Amino acid sequence: MRTRHVNLLIALVAVLLFSFSCFCISRMTHTSNQLTNCRNRISEFKETILRLKNKTEINRQELIKAFNQMKYEIAEREDASLNSVKKKVNALNKNETVSNAFEVLRFFFPHLRKVDRIYPDVIIGKEKTGVSFALGISTVNRGNHSYLKQTLTSIISRMTLSEEKDSVVIVSVADSNEDYLKSVVDMITKKFKRQLMSGSLEVISIPAYFHPNISHAKQSTDDSEKLESWQIKQVLDFCFLMLYAQPKAMYYLQLEDDILANKMYLTKITDFVHNITSNNWFYIEFSVLGFIGNIFHSEYIYITYYVKYLVFIMFVPV
């Protein structure tokens, strides 16, 4: 009897062990299958990433090729149809020779081909050149709110005297409202007389004939048409300001009329730029606020082709 009980117990244990073994084998098989699936998915993910990387590289090469072709065609067109000449500009009762960088705009805008001279309507200052930095500020009428005076005070007061001597701040009035233009000129004349006399501050006004019919630009949806119109105007205003500032300085810094500068901002920017080992760069971002705080090489080839590119992507349909 006792032997039978022992045999039954041994049989029960054997059954339990067998069941447990089967369960473990099943789980191990399931886990192995999951690992295999994970490996397969990882392999597929790697292949997808590789394909995307290759596609991105192909697109980059195509973009570079298209951009180089655009530069070649524009240069060829300019050489054939436009003579890059120098014009005499009367400013502050002083005749000065100015490189005609604005001629590039005639290629994109037929309405400018009939204009004798593409240049700012109003120039207040001494048209300072040969400095390290040109700081461009585009301003428009904001109604009852204007931060231009605070912005200029911040930018100028946080320069050292040597930095002020080696730079020029250019305020571009990009508004057709003559009363606003007059108010800007009056404010700057009263508050920043020393900077105007030294040539470290200038005021220009974009001529009314400059802006094209926005309907020539790429078509947009009805909901975004108003927004896109002012965006296009803003980009064109920036282009005009950059072309004016280009021959003045080694570097061009884009600012806005409603910012406050950090302490020693120009010193920090100068140190950063001078510590870059390679000079093979186009622009550097010193702010997270879009175009504000971007600094560009001011050599003709950089600024001019950047302006061409901005205008090209807006006014040439894809």
| Sequence spans of domains, the chain | 1-76, 82-315
Contact between residue 102 and residue 118 where contact means Cβ atoms under 8 Å apart: yes
Q: Which residue is listed with tokens 């590039």?
A: 104
* Best CATH choice for the domain 82-315 from the list 3.10.350, 1.10.760, 3.90.550, 2.30.30: 3.90.550
Mean pLDDT rounded to a whole number for the chain: 77
Q: What is the pLDDT of residues 92-112, one digit of tens each?
A: 333 343 446 787 778 777 888
User: Which of 23-32, 74-83, 291-300 is predicted least confidently?
Assistant: 74-83
The pLDDT, as a whole number, for residue 176 is 87
Could you give the CA distance from residue 256 to residue 240 in angstroms, rounded to a whole number? 15
Using the predicted structure, report yes or no on whether residue 91 has a pLDDT greater than 70.
no
Q: Look at residue 13 in the predicted model and tell me its pLDDT.
A: 65
Mean pLDDT confidence for 75-99: 44
Summarised one tens digit per residue, pLDDT across range 126-177 is 889 999 999 999 999 988 888 999 999 999 999 999 999 999 999 999 998 9
**Which residue, among 147, 201, 199, 194, has the nearest Cα to 169 in the 3D structure?**
201
Confidence at residue 96, expressed as pLDDT on a 0 to 100 scale: 42
Q: Which residues contact 230 (CB under 8 A, 6 or more apart)?
A: none
Based on the number of CB atoms within 10 Å of its own CB, is 198 exposed (0-12), middle (13-18) or buried (19 or more)? middle
Residue 94 or 34, more confident:
34
Instruction: Please state the rounded mean pLDDT for residues 182-211.
Output: 93
What pLDDT, in 10s, does the model give residues 247-303? Answer: 899 999 999 999 999 999 999 999 999 898 777 787 888 887 777 888 988 775 556
Q: How many alpha carbons lie under 13 Å from residue 141 in its C-beta half-sphere?
A: 12
Give me the pLDDT at residue 185, please.
Answer: 94
